Amino acid sequence: MSAVQGPLVVGVDTSTQSTKALVVDVATGTVVASGQAPHTVSSGAGRESDPRQWWDALREALHQCGAPAREAAAVSVGGQQHGLVTLDVHGAPVRPALLWNDVRSAPQARRLVEELGGPKAWAERTGSVPGPSFTVTKWAWLAEHEPESVRATAAVRLPHDYLTELLTGAGTTDRGDASGTGWWTSGTETYDEEVLGHVGLDPALLPRVGRPGEVVGTVRGSGDLPFAKGTLVAPGTGDNAAAALGLGLRPGTAVLSLGTSGTVYAVSTRRPADPTGTVAGFADARGDWLPLACTLNCTLAVDRVAALLGVDREAVEPGTEVTLLPYLDGERTPNLPHASGLLHGLRHDTTPGQLLQAAYDGAVHSLLGALDLVLDEDADRSAPLLLIGGGARGTAWQQTVRRLSGRPVQVPEARELVALGAAAQAAGVLTGEDPAAVARRWNTAHGPVLEAGERDEAALARIAGVISDAAPLLEREADQR
């Protein structure tokens, strides 16, 4: 570990299954300490977590960081997007938070789109056509199914807002995370009172939207946190916007993030508005835009297939004509929230390794299908794809992306890019720098480049054909549920 050369900052990533904290040297980008603690997600009808676990996990992760955390001059929180956190008048959770991958609000999503002008109107208004991941649909579901919870709610927050507020005592969010709610207009960058009125949500219950680079508060004196009282707190942001900061992304560079969910995104200077709903027109954390497509099923779904087959996740075999659509949690891209997994083309000589490869192919196909929609027309489509997330270091994931995209793949050596992006944002409020420039100075995107191979057009066509043929069946499943 190199000697510390500058002030220290803390970047936090509160994700679906754990909270991580990094203490980073502002001058060099060196991670001088880290910590991580888990939290649980319900496995019943929906996907929920108790927000108090996030706070407990944050405290534990910070204490694991030891003395460097006590020396930090600023902190920022990056967090899982879309989650609905409802708080009572005392600031305590009314109920567990509804998470991004809880798709019970699919009927409410469809009704909201229909009742407020259709997909094109929504895209022009908020930048996105809301699906069941979006916070506005979760609030509509809650109002319909748990009106007593709505009546008890005195504040509505996103996951990163919740932790930021516990740090500072003030309700603040940022444009990046607010853009994933469905009640923030991308044209005026304000809360949309018509949408809020339609779902019966008082805008006074929402946090203030902090400006990029703003100090939104200081850490309150607290005996259970290692921070010094008065430590600066940055606005924080959603996990994808934080990862974009962590990579120091410039417009036009495509990112594939392979985690519990899969995402593909790029920074753009143009405000997105995709009426098909495939691309979400999110804002980034700096003042630009982050068009993004998300799938619900990525590494977790493929790992589940490997477990069912009793093989290691890397035990893939080539030569398969099998198609496996791993829609184990429903799917967001394509928009089939109540679909289940589908296997086509199974024969006597099909091996477990070929089935596993088919699961990888199905997951990557969904992401690559949205890639051209995410990128601006003038983007260089021969440039390397940046591969990040938990799956990025897996050989099977790397080779599947190379084969189905026909593009080179770069795997940044830096880990925990969401927390690094939050740290870069914290450094920015401390020094006045652009946080993306801070990350580029830290050289976070550096990593090996795997050369392009021949694009597997036959596999892409086969998977697309199965999706098309199976669409009536998958849609019937949605209707039946």
Active site residues: 239
Note whether 285 and 479 are within 8 A (CB). Answer: no
- The partner residues of 290 in beta bridges, in order of sequence, read 282
CA distance 60 to 457: 48
Tokens of 175: 């444009």
Cα end-to-end span (Å), the chain: 54
Nearest to 363 by CA among 430, 453, 439, 303: 303
Note whether 350 and 322 are within 8 A (CB). Answer: yes
- Collapsed DSSP state (helix, strand, coil) of residue 281: strand
Encode 12-27: b = buried (16+ Cβ within 10 Å), e = exposed: bbbbbeebbbbbbbbe
Inter-CA distances, 316 with 153, 302, 308, Å: 49, 11, 14
CA distance 386 to 253: 8
**Cα 93 off chain centre by:** 22
Nearest to 295 by CA among 321, 251, 325: 325
Could you say which DSSP state residue 205 is in?
G
CA distance 27 to 441: 9
Could you say which DSSP state residue 400 is in?
H
CA distance 28 to 249: 18
| Residues whose CB is less than 8 angstroms from the CB of residue 156 and which lie 6 or more positions away in sequence, other chains included | 84, 85, 86, 87, 139, 201, 205, 206
- The partner residues of 10 in beta bridges, in order of sequence, read 23, 75
